[in-house]
């Protein structure tokens, strides 16, 4: 049975954690509506949610002591809903982080959306998920869910543990129904890229592909059941330049096995863009390796003629639906491609008839 003293000690510990973390939490005034929250990752850099920074100029930061400073955008990544702001003449208190969240641990969502001070909401880390694509064409290596209430203006603020250390960055701008936090280890990597390059490099390969079960007779130096069957290759694309053709099956990229689209998306980020990278594939049933140089994806991550937007196909992503391909034409194209691949590779099996996707 929990005693009153234990409850009191826990309550005091949580209040202490909020007080400690609040030293690094700032108010971000960069939109027409009410302000939002940000967190200092160094003396002059603030990390916050991209969707709360609607203005390119006239961005104001209020530190915990009430002092105000102007800020400029150091880098944006709509795909992960993160933006890095640089403040001049201020010395913010950098956060302390905890890169090892655990499902079930107590967590506090913090915000500073007004001049009245810090605000907090208590919950737990509900789940820690793996790779996930966002509605703006981005990709997260990992994500967290929490049942802590994300009050208005909390986006961009931290999810902390009971020691006042940051577990992740809260955001409502990734298009998920549940409250999502970007794990701090993932957010820190993105922040570093934004500081160095002003953006996150995401690669363009120029293929449309579908998850498929590998022929049983395939001989690889590792256990692998699935790959990506190339259904189409775009003109003047890196894939075409590397010698790939429709019907090839991608099984590895940058030294990592590729069994689905998410695995490929995860590897097509960062320094591999613009540099020769190995790609493994089956051609005529035989394992082959080539070098491919990804170009940087240029389309707007929000919406464009070739972008992902709400529904519709994309050159680099695909709409988030699974199951049977929609429409008689699409199903017929899939059947013909399958028959062709059966002749080339032998015993092929589609995985759940997943629709083709573009990378």
C-alpha to C-alpha distance for 290 and 345, rounded to whole angstroms: 19
Backbone φ/ψ region at 81: left (φ over 0), alpha (ψ -120 to 50), beta: left
Catalytic residue list contains 51: yes
The pairing of strands 45-49 and 36-40 is antiparallel
Instruction: Report which secondary-structure segment, H or E, holds 343.
Output: helix 328-345
Measuring CA to CA, which residue among 329, 335, 332, 333 is closest to residue 348? 335
Tokens of 213: 């079960």
The residues near 295 (Cβ < 8 Å, ≥ 6 apart) are 203, 204, 238, 273, 274
Measuring CA to CA, which residue among 125, 130, 140 is closest to residue 174? 140
The pairing of strands 207-213 and 349-350 is antiparallel
Backbone φ/ψ region at 14: left (φ over 0), alpha (ψ -120 to 50), beta: alpha
Tokens of 156: 């961009």
Tokens of 74: 């150091």
C-alpha to C-alpha distance for 92 and 178, rounded to whole angstroms: 31
Measuring CA to CA, which residue among 207, 82, 220 is closest to residue 155? 82
Cβ(180)–Cβ(167) below 8 Å: no
Catalytic residue list contains 155: yes
Compute φ and ψ for 235, nearest 5 degrees: -65, 145
Q: Which of 22, 29, 44, 51 is catalytic?
A: 51
Q: Which of 155, 188, 193, 314 is catalytic?
A: 155
**Residues paired with 286 in a beta bridge:** 283
C-alpha to C-alpha distance for 198 and 78, rounded to whole angstroms: 12
Q: Which of 29, 44, 77, 81 is catalytic?
A: 81
C-alpha to C-alpha distance for 120 and 34, rounded to whole angstroms: 17
Active site residues: 51, 81, 155
């Amino acid at each position: 049975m929990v005693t009153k003293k234990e409850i009191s000690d826990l309550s005091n510990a949580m209040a202490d954690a909020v007080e400690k973390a609040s030293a690094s939490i700032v108010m971000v005034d960069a939109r027409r509506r009410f302000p939002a929250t940000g967190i200092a990752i160094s003396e002059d850099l603030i990390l916050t949610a991209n969707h709360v920074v609607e203005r390119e100029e006239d961005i104001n930061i209020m530190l915990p002591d009430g002092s105000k400073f102007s800020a400029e955008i150091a880098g944006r990544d709509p795909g992960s809903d993160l933006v890095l702001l640089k403040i001049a003449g201020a010395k913010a208190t950098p956060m302390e982080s905890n890169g090892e969240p655990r499902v079930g641990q107590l967590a506090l969502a913090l915000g500073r959306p007004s001049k009245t001070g810090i605000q907090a909401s208590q919950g737990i880390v509900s789940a820690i998920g793996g790779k996930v694509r966002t509605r703006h064409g981005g990709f997260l290596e990992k994500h967290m869910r929490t049942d802590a209430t994300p009050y208005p203006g909390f986006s961009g603020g931290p999810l902390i543990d009971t020691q006042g250390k940051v577990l992740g960055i809260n955001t409502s701008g990734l298009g998920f129904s549940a409250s999502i936090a970007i794990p701090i280890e993932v957010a820190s990597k993105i922040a570093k890229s934004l500081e160095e390059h002003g953006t996150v490099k995401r690669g363009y390969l120029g293929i449309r592909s579908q998850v498929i079960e590998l022929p049983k007779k395939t001989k690889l130096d590792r256990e692998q059941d699935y790959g990506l069957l190339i259904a189409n290759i775009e003109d003047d694309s890196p894939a075409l330049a590397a010698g790939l053709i429709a019907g090839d099956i991608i099984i590895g990229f940058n030294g990592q096995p590729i069994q689905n689209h998410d695995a490929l998306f995860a590897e097509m980020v960062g320094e591999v863009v613009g540099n020769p990278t190995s790609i493994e594939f089956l051609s005529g049933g035989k394992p082959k390796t080539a070098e491919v140089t990804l170009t940087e994806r240029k389309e707007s991550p929000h919406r464009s003629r070739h972008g992902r937007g709400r529904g519709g196909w994309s050159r680099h992503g695909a709409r988030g639906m699974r199951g049977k391909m929609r429409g008689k034409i699409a199903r017929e194209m899939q059947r013909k491609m399958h028959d062709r691949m059966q002749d080339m590779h032998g015993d092929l099996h589609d995985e759940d008839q997943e629709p083709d996707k573009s990378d």
